[in-house]
Amino acid sequence: MNRNHTMLQFFEWHVPNHGKHWEDLAIMAHEFSVHGIDTVWIPPACKGMTQADNGYGVYDHFDLGEFDQKGTVRTKYGTRKELLHAMDVCRKENIQVIADVVMNHKAGADDTEHFEVVEVDPENRHEVISEPFEIEGWTRFNFKGRKKQYSPFQWDYHHFNGTDYDASEDRTGIFRILGDGKDWNDHVDDEFGNYDYLMFANIDYQHPNVQEEMIHWGTWFAKTLGCQGYRLDAIKHINAAYVSRFVHAMKESFGEDFYFVGEFWNPDLEAKQRFLDQTDFTIHLFDVALHYRFHQASIEGRDFDLRTLYEGTLVATHPTHAVTFVDNHDSQPGESLESWVGDWFKPLAYALILLREDGFPCVFFGDYFGIRGDDPIPSKKELIDPLLDARYYLAYGEQEDYFDHANTVGWVRHGVESFDGSGCAVVISTGDDGFKDMKVRDTHAGSTWIDVTGNRDDEVVIEEDGTGRFPVNGGSVSVWALKSYGLKRKEAVEERR
């Protein structure tokens, strides 16, 4: 039996523009593996529209910090050489790398072009609110610094179906490009009527040359990095039929185990189910609905009914296709989808994704290392590490839930013979101090259990029938395990270190 898999999102929005991020990954990789993190999601590695760009304003997909373009050789995160070195270190530490892929749009064009458009209503992109007219748009990408290395393809307005700026009038809007039978792509999210257009120059996946170029790039990128999968950005804005084709092409090149997880930022369960159907269930999705439930619980406190926590979540209905997370770069304070889970609830939320059997949990850099910027938030590493270690050593076997109280819930993982000492009892309270009477294995009768989080310093002795009364502090989480594990944990971690 394999150990549990755990992902770390290795960035937050305020990573400094010092070009040291890939170096930091190489330095930290071993410590990640010590705590059972075997998957790292790295930020977009391609050249952005400026050096300070986080990678989501992608300019040149084939420039990983190698060419002098947009006033810089390196990206915000470093150079191509430093990135490939970090990849080598991760491989040596048995950490698979999931690369962030931005395929929806391009930004920072090299020149403008004149072409015909119609303006559409931002609230209903099907509604045209102008006659056809000509604009001057930033849609020509020549990549002169790269000089056609890796790909001769150059982009112009024929390869896009929308943009948001008319340079001739210095005016913004949502402009649908005309000609060649262009329209918005089908099989996208239906918010605003059709949510194909998100930002910048919107890539037109109805164009056959675009389709082939992006598959060429996707293959080149994975080969160059030696990564083990992709995190697809903004996929609710991309034709799901093309996403499916892209996924199948990558799996054909790199094998069925090449991993995909998509950012489909819509808490609606039916919308995610439709997308999974359209992509033949070849891709996992982040469980946005669960994130919002955590956010709600952190606001409502004791008024939130924990028995309903998983209602409407992907992990409840499609557990093998759900990537569970607490927060990420978009939900952190000040960002476009701000929905920050309150700090008091963070350890509870991490227990709810790390110590349960369903879902592939992802830890956020901003929680693990803290958030920088004008309003910094401290690291919670000391709170998360015990939960990571409990996932690595303890959270195995059959799961038995005790979600029978609005404010105090728990569950037991009964452990497996493959991992000596495995199994745990988890209790969470969003109200007062409480407890849960829960049954562990009969063979544990008479054994002593301790709280490996350190939140409680008392001990629980298991009754003859395998039942224990496991306490928890108000607004807290306790993870109970055999005392022998608790005593050995530090030694085991140090040995791995």
Residues at the annotated binding site for Ca(2+)? 104, 196, 204, 237
Of 81, 82, 78, 87, nearest in space to 19 by CA: 78
Q: What is the dihedral of CA 141, 146, 152, 153, to 10 degrees?
A: -20
Residue type for 389, please?
A: D
- Is the Cα torsion angle 314, 320, 326, 332 positive or negative in sign? negative
Q: What residues are designated binding site?
A: 104, 196, 204, 237
Beta bridge partners of 111: 140
CA dist 276 and 264 (Å) reads 10
338 noted as active-site residue: no
Q: Which of 66, 100, 164, 263 is catalytic?
A: 263
CA dist 94 and 245 (Å) reads 29
SS3 100: strand
Contact between 445 and 439 (Cβ < 8 Å): no
CA dist 62 and 82 (Å) reads 16
Of 309, 317, 304, 268, nearest in space to 290 by CA: 309
404 noted as active-site residue: no
Q: Are strands 171-177 and 111-121 parallel, antiparallel or unpaired?
A: antiparallel
Tokens of 63: 């420039």
Q: What region does 263 belong to: left with phi over 0, alpha with psi -120 to 50, or beta?
A: beta
Of 369, 326, 360, 390, nearest in space to 28 by CA: 369
CA dist 243 and 251 (Å) reads 12
SS3 204: coil
Q: Which of 53, 110, 166, 233 is catalytic?
A: 233
- Give the 3-state secondary structure percentages of the chain, helix then strand then coil, rounded to 5: 30, 25, 45
| Catalytic residue list | 233, 263
